[in-house]
């Protein structure tokens, strides 16, 4: 996840419309009303029109548009909005920095980002003063660049020399300056080229970070793999080589050369100078970089420089001149973990990018000091020649940091025969971890973890350890963290100027590198790389240089000071956990570590106000420092006389405010310039502890761009504390927040205590949409702004809209106890508009109409023997009296399908034998714009696609994707065919699972709603905005059932904070049953998703079908094993790419360890190396879990860990091991089955534990159904096979099985409610396998209702359940009252006035078919009501009490005399004894009349947590 996202697409949801869905609706009027509404917030209707890309004009009331976070926050405060949530999805591995900074996501530029607005810094010229450049690097490729800007006056020096630099349209200039170096050292080291060519790598790295071109597949040894690019990738770059290698290998940059480079750069016409170099702090007049940068700034050139790497000691910051932009370094949200496992079962997390790794196992461990060679003085730090090879050989060595280079320590260990190194920080290095390109397996540990290693070594005679291979980990938290090495303030030269200015990513940064040097720059290292990972403020500096390039492109008339101000005042001080940024020791950092905060490029383009500084202002600054005319002259080049009125350093118009040696009271002045829209800014102050701060005036009104206003800040010490304290001043107009850090150093004189203390139907949707725009406009500052921001306007059943909000405002809303999204606007009464007020609300958080504000999250797809296994047929013949027969195969029921679309030519969607389309169908067949088109028929009666949320999420579409309802992924085709596919004889995949394929309701009609899309990165995304639009359309189109095989990555915080819960509530309110997958995050407890009580949530379990093959070894051992021919030796390896020797592999069966790679990919590795077969052997970590059989690309089979040991033993027992992998076969009637799928998400319900979820389990493992013929069955690029049917697994496959059964029941009982249909299926489910024993889970333990809900689906029983637990919409209202929703919240969602009962019911009293009490304290009584849907009769209660629980039912019998009659009963639960440990126990309640058995699971939580 990136840290901030300034602008994205958001949904504004406003509940249900007041108008009836049967009324004629003018969709254009609805959209116009949305534009009007949004325009109120965005400033104009045209802006709203440009921003809005969905207007929900059917049942869902709302819209989708682009908004920034502040606009979204304001919308969420308005009356009538039910929710506002971003259309957001989650990510893959990239070079990461720019995603972390909010410019891109998964390598795709975010809409409205600084990259987009500033055209990637196009034609800005960025100069880099450093070690030169490696011009052949792809980062300086000029493909796609136009002519060199006419303003460029520079040269390409020595471009024809052998070691020269050839420039191009990207690298437009290069010079070198070595006269100062030569005069100091007499001659450069022979490794340095007498040209701008870079032999060190530092300059290439920094220049490509600032403005490198886009380079795909960049990595170092496979780590940090992704697309590399600079901050201004379309900028032109110039290299000025001023740093040279000395004889000791160190880089040196001399003042004379630096000044010469500045002089040249200014004359050459550059726009920005980036200088990742510096010395100790010194007086400005004595420092070449300070002088040169002043001249550059005087010419309008921004100068960005590194703060230094001498932290964490205070007062170490360098490059402190106020005209220099000084950059600290902090971490990304990316790590390179390498786990260290000790023999005492302790595992520690280190960092590394070592390309080498150890085979899994424990190895001897020893501390460096215990390996000291006889003549060495110290070995603990693994210094050169300090280790005894005889003692070191074959061991992992622990080395203490310090004394020599980190990577050099590993070389010392390797040279002495060691096999790995654990590098432990000393106390001074603390928690700072760096990922180095070590020459042997190594991991870098913190000081505290290092002590654990040393303690373990001394605790045992034979210490052991293992260093696991490093890997790339994203989204690490907290981040950013200020790097320990980053130099700190306060400013030693001028304490009144806060330095550093900002912090930016500077730890483990991947960028281009020289090929003249190794990645470690150490003499013994002969490796070469095109990209390298380096850390330092040298790396953070060019990040900001690239951002300056973007701001310069967007605002070419801004001064360097204005650009710096824009970046500083929009910086943030919180990390990705919403907590204050921390130091490397994880203590709260201060402005001395990060200045104004962490950079946010997108914000910097529109800061609202800036603190500008002219050259005359700097002259006054010099005067305040005591400089005389002759001292100032070198800077200005002209005579200057200081005013007789003494200037103050503190009055320099700097974006930060520092009070030095405050004793009593002091006042400073500042001036802000308006660079945004006219408006009034009001001040807020976060006071430094013990200091009172007063700002005059407290508001500033700006009417024109460029207008300036002055204000004063007075600080007064009011307690006895002294030292440095910190606060913040913020000017805000409601949209912009212009932040300045306040630093106070106080000395206090204590004086003791004071002695004083309605309209036509066609106009309704237009009016609603107008109301959306007006509401949003009132918050954003105009209707046009609202129009620009709205994505969707929901104008039918669901009331609300989707807008773009930035992260900070969403956070602010959260802090006001909003649910993050939905607001409702009660506008219409009897079709007449009553009085409207759209004024801003000062404290909307307490507004009674607010339901929730929630992010527009990404939803995830949860992926023909089934029907025989479920008892509907036997040997391909329909069983008499089965649900298929009684339910007419679901004839003419309309199943709505939300997924990836469908492949319409599949035989599963043939309409042969089907009659006319049902007259109640109101939908359409949307063709789309791609060349393939899309044709519906009498089976596939409708199809729509919804892509605007996806597109406006900033994702590029996969080239193979279809701009129509056509399926490019296969998931949608598979699930649609499973739910309602027609009969297709001879269906199979490679001859396996052969039979007649059909759906659960093969005579039902299908309506397709494509809401999931393949992105350019190959991932599949389903966004809330599109999902809601699909629900809205499906409700209006007249579907009977909606099947949704997708869900969130994690459970939502509430039911009205995600699209599936919202859309399904409106659907069931219209009598439409909604079936959804429970998720694939098992077996973790509490991982179940789609948990709203009106949803039918489905878990996944196995069929009684396996795919097996016999593995025969040369020792006559035979194993019957999972799916995956003959010949010679096997050997064990993880079979990763490049790991196998083709000479040794050719013609052999290879045994590959599982654990590091996927089986199919491993098979491709074996096949490429010449292998003819593969045995996938579980390692110890994988155990005996075989998982799901895979569609291998060569003969293969998969063994458990136990069987794998037998194979290994055989290989080691003979010189010529041989084996045979038999051809896989389809095996039916396997036992036991069903078994709960390992990956199927589990309960308890994380939102309301009193509602048991999942509801049911159904077949979801290795399900055969239709597939698309244009995609390989494994989804791997190397797989060239294509199929018409495929085997897929997941709750995505279980869900449509139940959807098909629901359609059968809907045909048989068209008057049953969604709740009654669900009850019939749940209360007739089975808890036994085909062995007549309790269902087990994937680890062979007895499953519980948290695994399977009520049990396994039994379709034919559900046709006649006897009794049902019905739930009305009013019952759901009472449930909402019980969980804390008030009357206004509920009226908002339902579109009707509603009053909660005087006696608020218990959540447990919802008439659910299962009974759950999450915590029994004493006695609990709940009520239920049963409705007779069968014959008259008397039912008796049978109780299976949970262990340690007493359950009683009153009355114990219920007599029913007619259909539809209802009877109420109570269930009382009491714990038999108190327990200290918290756990759930399970039982059941069964009502039986001798024919029917109406079963409800009972789940009870006992004990204290």
Residue whose C-alpha is closest to residue 1378's, from 1408, 1409, 1399 = 1399
* Cα–Cα distance for residue pair 561/569, rounded to 1 Å: 12
Check if the beta carbon of residue 922 is closer than 8 Å to that of residue 1036.
yes
Tell me the two tokens of residue 629: 């005319």
**DSSP result, 920-971:** T----B---SSTT-----SSEEEEEE--HHHHTTTPPBPTT--SSSB-SSSH
* Cα–Cα distance for residue pair 554/118, rounded to 1 Å: 5
Angle, helix 971-980 to helix 1291-1308, in steps of 10 degrees: 30
Check if the beta carbon of residue 600 is closer than 8 Å to that of residue 547.
no
The β-bridge partners of 1020 are 1014
Angle, helix 537-554 to helix 202-211, in steps of 10 degrees: 30
Helix (H) or strand (E) holding 1145: helix 1142-1145
Q: Where are the alpha helices (DSSP H) in 7-159?
A: 27-42, 45-51, 69-76, 97-100, 114-117
Check if the beta carbon of residue 650 is closer than 8 Å to that of residue 735.
no
Check if the beta carbon of residue 1220 is closer than 8 Å to that of residue 1207.
no
393 CB-near residues (< 8 Å, 6+ apart): 416, 417, 418
Would you call 751 exposed, middle or buried from its count of C-beta atoms within 10 A (0-12, 13-18, 19+)? exposed
Q: What is the CA radius of gyration of the chain?
A: 35
Strand pairing class (61-68; 81-86): unpaired
**DSSP result, 1062-1083:** HHHHHHHHTT-EEEEE--S-TT
- Spell out where 576-674 has E strands: 609-610, 657-662, 665-674
Check if the beta carbon of residue 1438 is closer than 8 Å to that of residue 1383.
no
* Cα–Cα distance for residue pair 1277/1282, rounded to 1 Å: 12
Phi, psi of 199 (to 5 degrees): -100, -5
How would you label 779-817 residue by residue, b for 16+ Cβ within 10 Å and e otherwise?
bbbbbbbbbbbbbbbbbbbbbbbbbbbbbbbbebbbeee
Check if the beta carbon of residue 89 is closer than 8 Å to that of residue 857.
yes
Check if the beta carbon of residue 1248 is closer than 8 Å to that of residue 1091.
yes
- Residue 221's SS3 state is coil
* Cα–Cα distance for residue pair 60/793, rounded to 1 Å: 8
- Residue 100's SS3 state is helix
Q: Which residues are catalytic?
A: 130, 202, 538
**DSSP result, 1164-1215:** HHHHHTT-SEEEEE--TTTTT---S----SSSEEEE-HHHHHHHHHHHHH-S
Tell me the two tokens of residue 469: 């291979």
CA 438 to chain centre: 30
232 CB-near residues (< 8 Å, 6+ apart): 118, 120, 121, 124, 126, 210, 211, 546, 547, 549, 550, 553
Residue whose C-alpha is closest to residue 228's, from 240, 239, 242, 214 = 214
């Amino acid at each position: 996840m990136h840290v901030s996202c300034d602008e994205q697409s958001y949904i504004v949801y406003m509940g249900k419309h007041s108008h009836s869905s049967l009324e004629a609706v003018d969709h254009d009027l609805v959209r116009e009303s949305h534009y009007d509404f949004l325009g109120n917030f965005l400033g104009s209707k045209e802006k709203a029109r440009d921003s809005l890309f969905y207007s929900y004009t059917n049942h869902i009331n709302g819209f989708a548009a682009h908004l920034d976070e502040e606009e979204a926050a304001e919308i969420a405060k308005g009356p009538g909005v039910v929710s506002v949530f971003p259309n957001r999805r989650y990510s893959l591995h990239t070079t990461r920095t720019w995603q972390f900074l909010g410019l891109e996501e998964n390598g795709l530029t975010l809409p409205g980002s600084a990259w987009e607005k500033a055209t990637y810094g196009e034609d800005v010229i960025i100069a880099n003063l450093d070690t030169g450049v490696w011009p052949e690097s792809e980062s300086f490729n000029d493909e796609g660049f136009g002519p060199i800007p006419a303003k460029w006056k520079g040269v390409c020096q020595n471009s024809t020399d052998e070691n020269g630099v050839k420039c191009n349209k990207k690298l437009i200039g290069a010079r070198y300056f070595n006269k100062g170096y030569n005069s100091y050292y007499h001659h450069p080291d022979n490794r340095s080229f007498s040209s701008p060519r870079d032999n060190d790598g530092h300059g290439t790295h920094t220049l490509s970070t600032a403005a490198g071109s886009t380079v795909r597949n960049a990595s170092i040894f496979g780590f940090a793999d992704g697309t590399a690019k600079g901050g201004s990738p379309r900028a032109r770059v110039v290299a000025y080589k001023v740093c040279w290698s000395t004889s000791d290998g160190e880089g040196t940059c001399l003042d004379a050369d630096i000044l010469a480079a500045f002089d040249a750069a200014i004359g050459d016409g550059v726009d920005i100078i980036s200088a990742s170099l510096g010395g100790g702090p010194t007086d400005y007049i004595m420092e070449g970089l300070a002088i040169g940068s002043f001249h550059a700034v005087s010419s309008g050139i921004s100068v960005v420089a590194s703060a230094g790497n001498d932290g964490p000691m205070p007062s170490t910051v360098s490059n402190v001149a106020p005209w220099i932009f000084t950059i600290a370094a902090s971490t990304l949200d990316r790590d390179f973990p390498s786990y260290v496992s000790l023999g005492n079962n302790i595992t520690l997390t280190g960092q590394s990018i070592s390309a080498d790794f150890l085979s899994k196992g424990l190895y001897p461990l020893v501390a460096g000091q215990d390996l000291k060679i006889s003549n060495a003085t110290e070995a603990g730090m693994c210094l050169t020649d300090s280790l005894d090879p005889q003692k070191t050989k074959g061991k992992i060595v622990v080395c203490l940091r310090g004394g020599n280079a980190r990577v050099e320590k590993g070389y010392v260990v390797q040279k002495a025969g060691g096999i790995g190194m654990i590098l432990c920080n000393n106390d001074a290095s603390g928690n700072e971890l760096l990922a180095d390109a070590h020459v042997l397996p190594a991991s870098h540990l913190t000081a505290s973890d290092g002590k654990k290693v040393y303690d373990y070594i001394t605790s045992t005679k034979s210490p052991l350890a293992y260093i696991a291979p490093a890997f790339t980990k994203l989204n690490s938290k907290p981040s950013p963290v200020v790097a320990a090495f980053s130099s700190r303030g306060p400013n030693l030269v001028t304490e009144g100027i806060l330095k550093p200015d900002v912090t930016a990513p500077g730890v483990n940064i991947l960028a281009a590198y020289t090929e003249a040097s190794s990645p470690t720059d150490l003499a013994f290292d002969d490796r070469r790389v095109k990209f390298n990972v380096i850390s330092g403020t040298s790396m953070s500096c060019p990040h900001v240089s690239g951002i300056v390039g973007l701001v310069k492109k967007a605002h070419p008339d801004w001064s360097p000071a204005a650009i710096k101000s824009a970046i500083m005042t929009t910086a943030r001080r919180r990390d990705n956990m919403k907590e204050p940024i921390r130091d490397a020791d994880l203590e709260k950092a201060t402005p001395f570590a990060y200045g104004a905060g962490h950079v946010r490029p997108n914000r910097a383009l529109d800061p609202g106000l800036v603190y500008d500084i002219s050259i005359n202002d700097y002259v006054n600054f010099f005067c305040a420092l005591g400089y005389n005319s002759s001292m100032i002259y070198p800077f200005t080049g002209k005579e200057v006389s200081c005013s007789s009125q003494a200037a103050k350093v503190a009055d320099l118009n700097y974006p930060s405010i520092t009070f030095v040696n405050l004793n009593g009271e002091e006042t400073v002045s500042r001036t802000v310039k308006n660079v945004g829209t006219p408006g009034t800014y009001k001040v807020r102050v976060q006071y430094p502890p013990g200091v009172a701060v007063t700002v005059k005036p407290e508001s500033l009104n700006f009417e024109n761009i460029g207008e300036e206003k002055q204000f004063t800040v007075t600080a007064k010490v009011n307690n006895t504390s002294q030292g440095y304290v910190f606060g913040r001043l913020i000017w805000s107009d409601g949209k912009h927040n212009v932040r300045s850090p306040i630093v106070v150093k106080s000395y206090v004189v204590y004086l003791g205590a004071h002695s004083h203390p309605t309209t036509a139907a066609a106009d309704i949707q237009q009016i609603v949409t107008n109301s959306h725009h007006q509401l949003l406009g009132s918050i954003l500052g105009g209707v046009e702004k609202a129009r620009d921001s709205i994505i969707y306007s929901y104008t039918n059943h669901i009331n609300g809209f989707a807008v773009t909000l930035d992260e900070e405002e969403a956070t602010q809303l959260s802090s006001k106890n909003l649910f993050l999204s939905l607001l409702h606007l009660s506008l219409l009464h009897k079709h007449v508009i009553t009085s409207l007020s759209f004024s801003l609300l000062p404290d909307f958080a307490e507004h009674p109409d607010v339901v929730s504000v929630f992010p527009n999250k990404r939803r995830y797809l949860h992926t023909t023997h089934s029907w025989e296994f479920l008892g509907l047929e036997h040997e391909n013949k329909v069983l008499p009296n089965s649900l298929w027969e009684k339910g007419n195969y679901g004839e003419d029921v309309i199943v709505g399908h939300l997924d990836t679309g469908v492949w319409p030519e599949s035989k599963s969607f043939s309409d042969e034998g089907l009659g006319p389309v049902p007259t109640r169908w109101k939908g359409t067949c949307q063709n789309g714009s791609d060349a393939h088109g899309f044709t519906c028929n009498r089976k596939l009666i409708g199809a729509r696609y919804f892509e605007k949320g996806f597109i406006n999420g900033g994702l590029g579409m996969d080239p193979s994707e279809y701009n129509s309802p056509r399926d490019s992924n296969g998931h949608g085709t598979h699930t649609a065919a499973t739910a309602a596919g027609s009969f297709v004889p001879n269906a199979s995949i490679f001859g396996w699972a052969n039979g007649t394929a059909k759906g659960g309701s093969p005579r039902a009609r299908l309506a397709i709603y494509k809401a999931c899309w393949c992105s350019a990165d190959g991932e599949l995304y389903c966004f809330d905005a599109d999902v809601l639009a699909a629900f809205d359309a499906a409700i209006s189109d007249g579907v009977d059932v909606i099947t949704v095989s997708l869900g969130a990555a994690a459970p939502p915080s509430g039911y009205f904070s995600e699209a599936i819960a919202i859309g399904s509530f409106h659907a069931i309110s219209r009598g439409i049953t909604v079936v959804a997958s429970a998720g694939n995050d098992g077996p973790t407890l509490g991982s179940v998703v789609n948990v709203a009580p009106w949803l039918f949530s489905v878990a996944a379990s196995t069929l009684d079908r396996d795919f097996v093959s016999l593995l025969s070894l040369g020792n006559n051992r035979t194993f019957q094993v999972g799916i995956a021919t003959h010949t010679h030796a096997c050997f064990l390896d993880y079979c990763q790419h490049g790991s196998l020797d083709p000479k040794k592999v050719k013609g052999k069966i290879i045994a590959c360890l599982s654990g590091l790679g996927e089986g199919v990919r491993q098979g491709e590795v074996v096949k490429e190396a010449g292998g003819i077969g593969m045995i996938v052997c579980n390692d110890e970590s994988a155990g005996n879990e075989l998982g799901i059989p895979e569609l291998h690309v060569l003969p293969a089979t998969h063994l458990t860990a136990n069987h794998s040991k037998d194979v290994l033993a055989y290989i080691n027992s003979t010189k010529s091991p041989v084996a045979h992998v038999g051809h896989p076969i389809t095996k039916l009637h396997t036992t036991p089955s069903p078994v709960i799928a390992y990956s199927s998400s589990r309960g308890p319900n994380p939102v309301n534990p009193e509602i048991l979820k999942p509801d049911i389990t159904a077949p979801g493992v290795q399900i055969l159904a239709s597939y698309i013929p244009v995609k390989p069955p494994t989804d791997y690029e190397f797989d060239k096979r294509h199929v018409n049917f495929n085997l897929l697994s997941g709750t995505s496959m279980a869900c449509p099985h139940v959807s098909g059964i629901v359609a059968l029941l809907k045909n048989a009982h068209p008057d049953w409610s969604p709740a009654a249909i669900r009850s019939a299926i749940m209360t007739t489910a089975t808890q036994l396998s085909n062995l007549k024993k309790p269902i087990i889970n994937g680890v062979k333990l007895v499953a519980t209702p948290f695994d399977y809900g009520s049990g396994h689906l039994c379709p034919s029983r559900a046709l006649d359940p006897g009794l049902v637990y019905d739930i009305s919409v009013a019952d759901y209202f009472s449930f909402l009252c019980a969980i804390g929703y008030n009357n206004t919240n509920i009226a908002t969602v339902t579109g009707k006035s509603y009053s909660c009962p005087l006696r608020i019911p218990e959540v447990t009293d919802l008439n659910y078919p299962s009974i759950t009490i999450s915590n029994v304290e004493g006695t609990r009584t709940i009520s239920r009501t049963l409705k007779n849907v069968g014959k008259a009769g008397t039912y008796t209660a049978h109780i299976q009490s949970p262990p340690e629980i007493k359950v009683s039912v009153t009355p114990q019998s219920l007599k029913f005399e007619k259909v539809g009659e209802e009877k109420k009963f109570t269930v009382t639960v009491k714990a038999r004894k108190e327990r200290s440990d918290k756990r759930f126990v399970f039982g059941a309640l069964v009502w039986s009349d001798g024919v029917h058995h109406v079963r409800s699971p009972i789940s009870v939580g006992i004990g204290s947590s």
